[in-house]
Structures are given as C-alpha cells and as structure tokens.
Amino acid sequence: MKELIIIKMKKIVINGGRPLKGEVTISGAKNSVVALIPATILADDIVTLDGVPDISDVASLIEIMTIMGAKIERKEDSLIIDPRGVKDMPMPFGKINSLRASYYFYGSLLGRYGQATVGLPGGCDLGPRPIDLHLKAFEAMGAAMTMDGSSMKLATDGKPLQGANIYMDTVSVGATINTILAAVKAKGRTVIENAAREPEIIDVVTLLNNMGAHIRGAGTDIIIIDGVPHLHGTRHQVIPDRIEAGTYIALAAAIGEGIQINNVLYEHLESYIAKLEEMGVCMTISEDSIFVEKQTGLKAIQIKTSPYPGFATDLQQPITPLLLTAAGRGRIVDTIYEKRVNHVPELAKMGATILTLNDHIIYEGPNQLTGSSVKATDLRAGAALVIAGLMASGTTEITNVEYILRGYSDIIHKLTQLGADIQLIEE
C-alpha cells in the first residue's frame, strides 16, 4: 500500500483598500545574511551574527550548516555559529537546489578545505544567471571543476589556492563575494577588477576583516585580498535590508496615510529615492528612518535598472504597483534580468493597464485595482502582488507565497501592525 503524502499549501489572503499608517522596522539584509552565514565556515572559532532576519532562506542555510557539522543557536534575531565541526562533505541537494545563495558554499568550502562538492543552485527563476564568473575565478586560483550528475565538484588536488588577478567580465555581486570567500585564505594576493560595489559586499568584507582577513577596496570596483592562514571568531551586526526598506517605502507611498520606516540607511537607497522624488512622493528623511506622507498627484516616470549605485533590479517589481497610481505613461527597463517581467500579467489580472513589449514594461495610470487570484512567480514579484493586493478593492489571494517568505521577515505581522487585513493561510 502506497504511503499517502499530504502537501500543505500556503496562500496569502488580503482584503484590500484599507488605509495604512504607523511604523515598521526593517530587518537585516537578506542578500547579506545569505553570504554571511556560509562565510562563517572560514572561522576557527564562534561567530555571532546580530540582526538576522526570520526568513526561510536563513532557515535553509541553518539546516545545511547543521548537517555539515556546525553548531548553531538562535536567540531572537541573533545566530551563534560554531563552525569548528564543519566537515568537507557533499551538500544536501534538496536544500541546495531550493536556494540560489547556496553557491556561497563553493567559495567558503574552497577557502577552508581546498575543495567543495555541492548541487547546482536554485532560487527564483529570473532567466539565465550563470555561474561562469564564479568558476573562472576559482580556476584562476587553482581549482578545477568536474560534474557528477546534478552536483559539481571543485578541487585543487591537495594544493593550496593561489592568489590571482581576476577581471569580472560583467559586474556580479555573487561572483564578487564568492571570489572573496575563496581568496581570503589563499596564498598571496588576489585582485578583483570590475568588482560589484553593493552594500552587501561591504557587509561581508566587514565581517571577514573583523575575523582577521586583509581585504581592501570593498565598495569600489577594485578589491584587494591578501590571504591569511587563520580567521578567528567575532560578532557582527547585519546591515538593514535596503530592498525590504524600498518595498515598504513603495507601499507607504501607494496606500499609506503616514508611515515611518525605521532602520533605513538612506545612502543605500539614493538612486531609488531620487526616482520617488521625481514621481512627486513626499518624504522626510532622517538619520536612520524615512517618514512617507499620504500622496497625491503622482506622475509617471521612466526606470532603468543598473548595478549599484544605480536603481536596483530587486526594486523594480516592488515599485511597479506604486507606478500604477501615477498619472501618465511610463516604462521600466531591467538591464540586469531582462526577463524579470512575470509580475506584469498578474497585475493585469487585477485591472492594471500594463504590458510587456520586447521585455520592457509599459504602464499607464492612474489605475484602480480589483482583487483577484494571482500567483507569485519569484520573491520580488510576490512583494509587488502583496502591495497591489493592499491597494485593490475586494479580496486578493496570492499563491506560491513560499517565494515571499524567502525574503521578507515577519511580513504578515508587520503589515497587520500597519492596519492591513492580511492572513497567511495553510491548506
């Protein structure tokens, strides 16, 4: 007799059209912490991370690290990680394949053991996101790659990794961080040219330098790493999540009647805020918070994403529902992930005047959205649908919410505190 397997499906149900007000505090950066946790493998003692968001990607990383032999304790928003028991072993493929940031185990395991065997990374389907740049960097430092079914093995044949001069053919956050992780214990000096400049890279480098690494240039396009034999334990505060902050700012401008967003670093959002001001969004920017007023008379704009410090690709989907409230016609061009348009047909189901043309998003407003049954196709598309559901009249049901829970900490509670009628339902 076959065993009956019951799969519980989750969905978010929103009764929209309610004005929101109050305060919300931004959690630690998802795009930092998914690299910071694997980076602790390089330490010879306990590392404590403060400000860790409560998201499913973190839960997956904790499970992977525990299987590898790490001891991890969670106390509120802190992770206490003892990596000394981590063993060089094949990664658990199920968890690896569900998590794009699993590729950071390549760099950290190579840096510690000179070899790594992991499944191919998963995550959101945003079109081609090759890891060729990662492999090019590892090979330059002396690691060879072989494939075994669905897993990839990187190894140096017992020789230590060697410092190298590495030019990134395209700007890549993941490849830049992975190269740093592999190079931090390599023999000699590694120079990364055309490196990505994102705040999350600076955050990872800050952790590593506090552990005893010698890394210079983070935040510029040239990063220099002088390898060291050992890294010690430390304590590190994760930076605020600029993408979560941008998402709540867009929500506040779209339907808020006065919302303060706390734990925000304005300098991480300058290009984004410049576009909001171009629309006519009224905000008061303080040292670590932004107050968004109730908006009227917004106008349509053109958006083109680009590597940091340009307009972040991760924010083009969350800002789209706000754009639908503006008067006029506008366009969104994503130069990072051209296929990042899957939220468009879902918003159209809700009555939005929006379409894609040659992978450009064309919208016209203002729009009055109506609740509908929609599907999150990736993390940031899911965030866009949550905002649209809050704006819409009637009830919106969002499926595939596992994507949303990957990157937005405590989202149901935070929105409820602002006055939203929103529930996470398990069926």
230 in the same domain as 245: no
Q: What is the pLDDT of residues 101-112, one digit of tens each?
A: 688 999 999 999
129 is in an annotated binding site: yes
* Among the listed residues 113, 76, 73, 72, the one whose alpha carbon sits nearest the alpha carbon of residue 91: 113
Q: Does residue 281 share a domain with residue 172?
A: no
Residue 3 has pLDDT above 90, yes or no: no
Does the residue 321 lie in any domain?
yes
339/10 Cα distance (integer angstroms):
26
Residue 131 is labelled as binding a ligand: yes
Q: What is the mean pLDDT of residues 263-267?
A: 97
Q: Quote the pLDDT of residue 149.
A: 67
pLDDT of residue 388: 98
| pLDDT for res 95 | 55
Q: Over pLDDT 70: what percentage of the chain?
A: 92
The reply to whether 115 falls in a domain is: yes
Query: Using CB atoms within 10 A of its CB, is residue 8 exposed (0-12), middle (13-18) or buried (19+)?
Result: exposed
How far is residue 63's CA from residue 275's CA, in Å, rounded to a whole number? 39
The whole-angstrom separation of Cα 35 and Cα 338 is: 25
> What confidence score (pLDDT) does residue 150 get?
67
Judge whether 98 and 122 are in contact, CB under 8 Å.
yes
Is 124 a residue of the active site?
yes
Same structural domain, 131 and 143? yes
Specify whether 158 is located in the same domain as 278.
no
| Residue 118 predicted with pLDDT over 90 | no
The arithmetic mean of pLDDT across residues 208-231, rounded, is 98
Are 363 and 322 contacting, i.e. CB atoms less than 8 angstroms apart? no
Q: Tell how far CA 372 is from the center of its chain.
A: 27
37 is in an annotated binding site: no
- What residues have CB less than 8 Å from 89, skipping those under 6 apart? 68, 69, 117
- Residue 347: name the closest of 330, 329, 372, 328 by CA: 372
User: What is the number of other CB atoms lying within 10 angstroms of the CB of residue 232?
Assistant: 12
Lowest mean pLDDT among 34-38, 112-116, 190-194, 196-200: 112-116
Residue 361 forms part of a structural domain: yes
**What residues have CB less than 8 Å from 185, skipping those under 6 apart?**
42, 111, 112, 161, 227, 228, 229, 231
Would you say 321 is a known binding-site residue? no
Task: Give yes or no for residue 123 having a pLDDT over 50.
Answer: no
| Domain end (from 205, 237, 269) | 237
- Count CB neighbours of 146 within 10 A: 10
Q: Is residue 5 part of a domain?
A: no
Give kind and range of the element (H or E) at residue 25.
Answer: strand 20-25
User: Which residue type sits at 2?
Assistant: K
Across the range 117-128, mean pLDDT stands at 54
The conformation of residue 54, written as its DSSP 8-state character, comes to -
* 314 carries a ligand binding annotation: yes
Let me know whether 249 and 319 are in one domain: yes
Quick: pLDDT tens for 315-344: 999 999 999 999 999 999 999 988 899 999
Q: Which residues, 6 or more positions from 70, have their beta carbon under 8 angstroms from its beta carbon?
A: 40, 41, 81, 82, 83, 85, 86
- What is the rounded CA–CA span in Å between residue 311 and residue 215? 27
Whole-number pLDDT of residue 94: 56
CA distance 343 to 376: 7
Q: What are the DSSP calls for 201-258, one per residue?
A: HHHHHHHHHHTT-EEE-BTBSEEEEE--S----EEEEPPB-HHHHHHHHHHHHHHEEE
Same structural domain, 398 and 360: yes
pTM for the full predicted model = 0.94
* Secondary structure class of 107 (helix, strand, coil): helix
Identify residue 146 by its one-letter amino acid code. Answer: T
**Final residue of a domain: which of 237, 267, 293?**
237
Is 330 domain-assigned? yes
DSSP summary character for residue 314 = H
Cα–chain-centroid distance for residue 271? Answer: 18
Question: What value does the mean pLDDT take over residues 184-201?
Answer: 98
Edge-to-edge strand order for the sheet containing 189-193? 165-167, 189-193, 222-226, 214-216
For residue 259, give the amino acid letter: I
Q: Are residues 143 and 267 in the same domain?
A: no
pLDDT score at 151: 72
What CA–CA distance (Å, rounded) separates 56 from 60? 6
199 and 328 housed in the same domain: no
Give yes or no: residues 232 and 324 share one domain: no
pLDDT higher than 70, residue 113? yes
The whole domain housing 340 covers 10-27+240-426
Q: Identify the active-site residue in 55, 124, 126, 171.
A: 124
Report the Cα–Cα distance between both ends of the chain, in Å, rounded.
25
151 within domain boundaries: yes
Question: Do 78 and 217 sit in the same domain of this protein?
Answer: yes
Domain count for the chain:
2
The answer to whether residue 4 is domain-embedded is: no
Two structure tokens written together for 149: 């079914």
Q: Given a cut of 80, is residue 359 above it in pLDDT?
A: yes
- The reply, when asked if residue 132 is annotated as ligand binding, is yes
| Residue 116: both structure tokens together | 């790594």
Mean pLDDT of 174-199: 97
209 marked among binding-site residues: no
Query: Does residue 128 have a cis bond before it (omega within 30 degrees)?
Result: no
In a domain, 1, yes or no: no
Among the listed residues 372, 377, 412, 415, the one whose alpha carbon sits nearest the alpha carbon of residue 396:
372
Q: Which two tokens stand for residue 171?
A: 């700007």
Q: Decide which of 215, 237, 259 is a domain's last residue.
A: 237
Which pLDDT does position 54 carry in this prediction?
96
256 and 184, same structural domain? no
52 and 114: one domain? yes
- CATH code assigned at 191: 3.65.10.10
Is 216 known to sit in a ligand binding site?
A: no
